[in-house]
Each structure stands twice: as structure tokens, then as C-alpha cells.
Structure 1
Amino acid sequence: MKKIILFSAAIILLAASCKKTENNASEQLPDVKASSTAKVCVDKGPNVEPGKVSTESVFVKTTSWANGKTIKVKFLNGTTFLQGKVKQYAKIWEDYANVKFSFVTSGTADLKVGFKYNGDEGSWSYLGTDALTYAPGNEQSMNFGWFDANSPESDFSGTILHEFGHALGLAHEQASPNQNIQWNKPVVYAYFQGPPNNWTKADVDAQVFAKYGKNDKTISYTAYDPASIMQYFIDESFTTDGFSVGENTVLSATDKSHIAKVYPK
């Protein structure tokens, strides 16, 4: 789970997606310790413009579901095994949020989930109710692009919890107004401008460095939580003070308490 896009305050962020990095992603920077299993995640919507700051933060209020809603989820493809993993980890959110995920096989659904659907190797989800607007009918609203029968359990846990966090309206933690990461910008630029991402400098500015303003009324946020399932990997070389974040694979205490406030029982 590691790729980020941020947009202008005039643009509502609609989806978040992730692409698996390859070993050659760190060849330009041998001090970067990202493994071949690291993820690089991108927020995306219909009006994506590189280099602009996102309106995203921890929770986007405009994308919230009705409290107590049963959210219908339908698989567009995938093996019984992979579908079972999604059901297993998605339902962990139900322990803390006053919502239910009902997995259906026919009729209409709120969320439509694919596995490498139409060859898409990224993992992503629309934010909350934006799935209804931008993926109506039987259009896909979530994708898992690198799962197979041999995927490690930590990959299932981290990725599924993350994408269903987006589906509940949660956004990337590093965009929090309370985040004060001391970025080593030359290293970050070099890393993300190299393969497999090949971003422009403007992309990196938007995807990595931008964050919300503290007075933004469209969001709900807490103290910055590097342990959040919505926070992405940060190699220690990406910061000037050695701050780093590993691959988070479980809900943090703040994830649990914040989602319980957003969807109170």
C-alpha cells in the first residue's frame, strides 16, 4: 500500500489506488530499503491534475455513508479463495464502525470489487459514496491487482483493510494537517521519478508532499498517526531526521477510535 496522489482544494478526491513496486524501483537509490513487496498508492478521480494539492485528509465528510448502513458488495471476478480473503478482512471494520458489509451475488451493489480486473495490476478504491456517483450500475469501484493464492497474509490484511478504509471515506494519513514529516526531497524525487512510477516532479509534489489545511471544514482528522492503516511506507532515507514508517498491516488504535466516531454505534 504505497502510492499517493493529492489534488486541488477545488477538486473532490474520488479514489485511491496502489501499484506494486518492483526490485528495480530502488536501484537508483541503493540506500532505500523498500522491498519488492512494497506498495506505492495513488489517489485518483475523474479530474486528476498533476501538481495540485488534494482536498483529501483523514476522513472526507462528503463521502460518508449513512450511519448504520448495510453496504452491499459484489465481486466482478476472482477465485473463491481471494473473495474469501476480502470478506475476512473487510469485516474487521464492522467491529468498530456502525456499518455492515453484505456480500451479494446478484442485483445492485454499492461496491463492485475486481481482482486484476481488465488487466489492472493496481489496487484502489473510490472514497466512500463516490463509488455510487463514479462507478454506477455494474462499474468497478475497487480493485486488487496483485493478489494470488501465494500472497502473504500480511499483504491481504494490509491491502484489504486499507482499500476498505477508503471505501468508508478514509483518506491517506500522510495528508493529515497534523503531519510534520521532514522530507528529504531530493531523495524522494529521485525515487518516485524512477521506474516503475516514473512520476514528474509535479506529481511527487502532489502525491507525497501536499497536505490539508487545519481549517478545512470538509475533513475530520486526529493527531497524526504513523501506525494508521491509511499511512504508507516511508523509508528512513526519505526524511532528513531518519523518520520512517514500515508497511502497516493492521488497524491502529487511532484507526479504531476515529472510525467509531465517524460511524458511532
Structure 2
Amino acid sequence: MTTTGLDGRSVIVTGAGSGIGRAAALAFAAEGARVVAADLNPGGAAAVVTEIEAAGGTAVSVTGDLSEQAVVDRVTATAVERFGGVDVLVNNAGIMDRMSAVAEVSDAEWERVIRVNLTAPFLLARAVLPHMLAAGRGAIVNTASEASLRGSAAGAAYTASKHGVAGLTKSLAVMYRDKGIRTNAVAPGGTRTAITVDVEAGAHGPAALAAYMGNVGRPAEAEEQAAAIVFLASDAASNINGVILPVDNGWAAV
């Protein structure tokens, strides 16, 4: 019988203070993993650590902007120093755009969304890879999006960032598959989280996208996304590599 193999493993979860990240951190801890809960919000990160410890698990929080190299280095060092290495990296932290069409996207919106959603996962993967390579094993799970599969699920900046996450996932999978390291991604559809979208009234992007949103279907719970993330990181998925897994109640099939 295949088990998750996560007991005692060192797991970094970004965006762990709320939503899918929080659910993933709790799910990994329930499997016996030791969790580094990284988040921009100190209160959210501390709260999930408290919840894990109250249930008998092991976790530590690290706060800061993961698009900054110094924060990435601190997250990685914490996992290595506290838990002996990095077995699993979950690149989950991300932000939404304003559903803006290309002609409406400001430089600031574009650069911030790309920096948080795509550059930060790259920086984190680059930081943990030496530790995974030294161990001869590792699993990376990225949070892509329905917007990584189509052009009708979000604005230009978010869509481009998540297509980039899908490409990064596949590149990592190919480059390191012979080194014992697997990289996959979940592509969540609509999910019940606290994320909100600041839509500009009268903007073209939101109006153009509205016609396609009827295909979303039943929104997922954060725990449903977390279950898929834990599976992809686990030994149960030992021969799954380079997959972008929609967790979207069939939206990608429409």
C-alpha cells in the first residue's frame, strides 16, 4: 500500500497564512511533515503555526515579501536550520490583477503581479534546488491557475504570470527529473478564499471576461486544492512529473 511518505519531511508552504496555503500547511502537518509557513502577513503565518502546534504538529513561521531575494534566503535557511533541509516546496503565494485588458494595464500592476506570481516561485525554486540536489530527492508543487490554461479567466498580467508558472513547472520537471526531483502544479478554478479583485468600473477587461465566467461551476473549498497539492508532493505521485493538474470541477473541460 502506497503512503504519502511525508512524515518527518521538511515542507515550505508560501502564502500559508490564509486560503489554499493555510489549508495546505495544515494538511501537510496532519501527514507528519514539519512546515515552514511563509507569508507576507505576520498574523496569518503565526496563526497557522499555532493551529498546527495545537494539533501536535511542528511548524515555524517566516514573514516577508517573497519577491525579495533576502526573504527567500531567510525562508530557505529556516527550513535547513530548523528541519535539516528542504524536501518539499509549495509555491502557493500569489496576488490577483484587476482583470485589466492589455491596453489598461499599468506598469505598476504588470510588474507587481509578475514579480509576486512568477519571479518569487523562480527565486524559491532556485534557492531550494541545491538542498534537494544534495539529498537526491525533492518535490516542488506550484499553484498555477485556470488562467494558466486559457485567456478568459483573468486579466492580462495574471494570465501571463500563471502561464509563466506552467512553463516554469515544465522546465523544472524536465531539467531535474533524473536528479530525483519532481515538479508539478495545480491549476485551481474558482475557490472560496479571502482573495478579492479590485475591478475598475467601466474597464474593458472585466466586461470582456464576464461572458465566460458562467463556466466556472461549483467553487472549490481550499481544502480540496490542498488535498491535490499534498498528493502531488507525496510518494503516492512518485511517477507524476511536469503535470498541470486542473482542480476546477471540470471547468478546463468546457
TM-score bucket (shorter structure): under 0.3
Give the number of the structure whose residues are more often helix, by fraction.
Answer: 2
The alignment's TM-score, normalised by the length of structure 1, stands at 0.26
Which structure would you say has the larger RCO, counting Cα contacts within 8 Å and 6 or more residues apart? 1
